[in-house]
Structure 1
Amino acid sequence: MLPALTGQSPDALSTWLKEEGEPAFRSNQILDWTWKKKVGSIDAMTNLPATLRGKLSNAFRFDSLEHTHTQGSEDTTRKFLFRLHDGRYIESVLIPANPALYGEKSDRRTLCVSSQVGCAYGCKFCASGLAGFTRNLDASEIAGQVLAAEQLSGQRVDNLVFMGMGEPLSNLDNLLDAIALITGPETLHLGARHLTISTSGLVPQIKRLADHPQQIRLAISLHGATDEVRGQIMPVNKKWPVAELFEALEYWNSRKNQKITLEYILIDGVNDSLEQATILARHARKLRAKVNLIPYNTVEGLDWKRPPIPRCRAFQDVLKNAGVSATLRLEKGHDIDAACGQLRLKQETEEGIIKAPVKRK
């Protein structure tokens, strides 16, 4: 399998050109065609000599993603399904104008990006891990989702959230390579402050990312303010309980200027008590963190239910009255299987790639 051209860093491309006896300035031309002009093939790079285009075609696939399906909703949220070289699927979700998402301006477009095929962490509310973990995505497959979303929508993506399929921090090396492509001036040139990485709470990787020089944002899939409650929802809590997680977040705050976001999916009768809200408020105040409340998005195969909206608002009020910045995100795309991994799970089950997952509790 040839490597993807969309996974080549500027340095790697320059090295390849030198080895092929080609002038260095061709690197900028190739990158411009790929990332700025967003052409769909090497043959479309018309200012390159035919001999160089031939060399490129012999050395690289152009892209690592094949777009197979777009699912859209009434609120114009779009979910893109991509097939990979090994026949597996991943998905990305393009979310338009959403002022409740991390406080961003309402005219911005946010892309939710996947980092793995499946997931090994088994968060109890999530469809991504229902069929288990298959493999990590490489840099071209991660960054390629952003390029493809811009090609398919005809619009600039302003913000990225790495909270699609998979646990981003368990694929940290490939993720950082992809981020270099996404933020590089020769490639997509999106500022690191417009990137949010969401994690279920991998403590060593949180500390490693804290030492990374770029001012990337961090979001924590918390979903429970105590070990007793969080442990019912997040299996990772057994390895890194709440106290260890918050110690790592204190370290993050010592290294970064960006506020942490605590993600909290509200699940009926599980984690939506006002007692949990009070404890969560104490955690958030100590970290100077924002809280993003999300009523549960129904997933076929799981028994969870979303709480009534008045109870969600009462939970939010506890946080606000304690001086915590808390948004209640009535999510877009509820009608298009927009929860992580749902569309991919449906497609792979239909094709017989995976068996229909057994309902878990």
Structure 2
Amino acid sequence: MVTLAKTELFGLFAAETAEAMKPLGLEPYRGKQIVEWLYKHGVREFDAMTNLSKDQRVKLALRFTIMKLSQKAAQHSVDGRTSKFLIAFPDDMAVETVLMRQPYGNSVCISTQVGCAMGCSFCASTLGGLARNLTGGEILSQVLYINELLKQEDHKVDSIVIMGSGEPLANYDNVLRFIRLIHEPYCLGLSYRSITLSTSGLVPEINKLAEEAIPITLSISLHAPNNELRTRLMPINKRYPIEQVLAAGNRYAEITGRRVTYEYTLIAGINDQPVHARELAALLKGRLANVNLIPINPVPERGLLRPAQTDIVRFEQLLKSEHLNVTLRREMGTDIDAACGQLRHKVLSK
């Protein structure tokens, strides 16, 4: 007897779900009903889909699966505003997902890969290398996991930052699937403008993303004002140096009309001096851009330190004196493993 491999439903669009139902004799409109159960109502069992007949539910259970997550660890800041979850998929691979309760709403930081291959010298996500890409459904499942928790407080996810473990644009197709899917009215119906994607600077993919005509916010990890220093911090700079990255950022801003954010992690004695601020100002002046300064969350294995507060303020003021749009990231969750990949690395090390 041949047993058919079951197909995972989580991560499919309504039209794809309807197509997958055809061999079972289900009407096309059932596709939308099923994805609403999955994405809007958080149902993870076919038996709970009460607008389907019992016979239809049995057929579905024989042919399809619905992804279920498990929580391997969780940390909550003392002020209750930040929660970090280590979430495992059915194959026991785990990623970090972070809930940040902001004055303007609930923001979720999600991962797109298990681990990371970028090798940035200040990041915990790269310590174990890259295990695998996440599917569109696995990326979506992180947001919906947090949304179900927030429902218990009569709240919901208001914005998303694709800024957790992994390089989103190295997993381009799955990330785009997620972005389009979460925007669908039968999913969360989230505005594209409520989504921020952070990249280490994969130039061809930035250009490709610009052509998608999806008005998400693009955030580019710069972290240094010159190629020599950026290559030390970010090996990807050997392939795509600063000049190419900035040109791609300009093109994205021109096509989408959206201001690009350049992230700059401040590291004591490495990139936090006045000379670096002046170099950075010269690079970004006149561009449709913001600078987001991020005092480093130190990772013990990396041996890099957070600058003194006076150095952080001085750096910020120097940029502002050059009329750049500058924000200093509000620190959240500093009493837990705040840096990307720290919680996962700690659990794996044990």
Report the TM-score, using the length of structure 1 for normalisation. 0.91
Quote how far apart the aligned CAs of 1:289 are: 0.6
1:161-176 matched pairs, under 5 angstroms: 161-176=161-176
* Aligned partner of residue 336 in structure 1, secondary structure: coil
Q: Distance in 1 between matches of 2:63 and 2:310?
A: 58
Measured in 2, the distance between the counterparts of 1:221 and 1:64 equals: 33
Query: Which residue does 2:101 correspond to in 1?
Result: 96
Runs of 4+ in structure 1 deviating by more than 6 angstroms, as ranges, are none
Q: Equivalent of 2:118, from 109, 118, 121? A: 121
Are residues 1:239 and 2:244 paired? no
The one-letter amino acid paired with 2:46 is I
Partner of 1:204: 204
Matches within 5 A, 1:237-276: 237-276=237-276
1:232-267 Cα offsets, whole Å, 9 max, x none, are 211111111111111111211221111100111100
SS at match of 2:297: coil
Residue pair 2:111, 2:139 contacting (<8 A) in 1 also:
yes
Deviation at 1:62, TM superposition (A): 1.3
Work out the CA distance in 2 between the residues paired with 1:32 and 1:201: 35
Mean alpha-carbon deviation: is it higher for 182-191 or for 260-269? 182-191
The CA RMSD measured in Å over matched residues stands at 1.4
SS at 1:223 equivalent:
coil
Larger fraction in strand: 2
Whether contact under 8 Å (2:107, 2:159) holds in the other structure is yes
1:138 to 135, 141, 148: 135
* 1:75 to 2:72 alignment: no
1:333 deviation in Å? 0.9
1:44 equivalenced with 2:41 (yes/no): no
Which amino acid in the other structure matches residue 139 of structure 2? Answer: I
Distance in 2 (alpha carbons) for counterparts of 1:21 and 1:307: 63
Moved more, 304-313 or 73-82: 73-82
Match of 2:295 in 1: 295
- Indicate yes or no: 2:30 matched with 1:26: yes
Aligned twin of 1:354:
none
- Verify the 8 A CA contact 1:64 1:140 in the aligned structure 2: no
- Aligned AA (1:84): F
- Residue identity matched to 1:120: A
Count of residues in correspondence between the two structures: 342
Identity %, equivalent residues: 41
CA distance in 2, matches of 1:179, 1:299: 30
- For residues 274-318 of structure 1, what are the alpha-carbon distances to aligned partners after superposition, in whole Å with 9 as ceiling and x for unaligned? 111112123332322111111110112110000011110110001
| Cα pair 1:65 1:141 within 8 Å, conserved | no
Structure 1 distance, partners of 2:68, 2:252, is 33
Contact 1:4 1:64 in 2 (8 A): no
Counterpart AA for 2:29: F
Check conservation: 1:113, 1:165, Cα contact below 8 A: yes
The answer as to whether partners of 1:295 and 1:306 remain within 8 angstroms in 2 is yes
CA distance in 1, matches of 2:249, 2:64: 41
Report the Cα offset of residue 64 of structure 1.
Answer: 4.8
Cα distance between partner residues in 2 of 1:56 and 1:71: 37
- TM (norm. structure 2) is 0.94
Instruction: String of CA shifts for 1:189-247, please: whole Å, max 9, x gaps.
Output: 11111111100011111100011121111001110011122122111111111111111
Note if 1:14 corresponds to 2:1. no
Measure the CA separation in 2 of the matches of 1:166 and 1:152: 24
CA distance in 2 between counterparts of 1:235 and 1:252 reads 23
CA shift, 1:179, in A, is 1.2
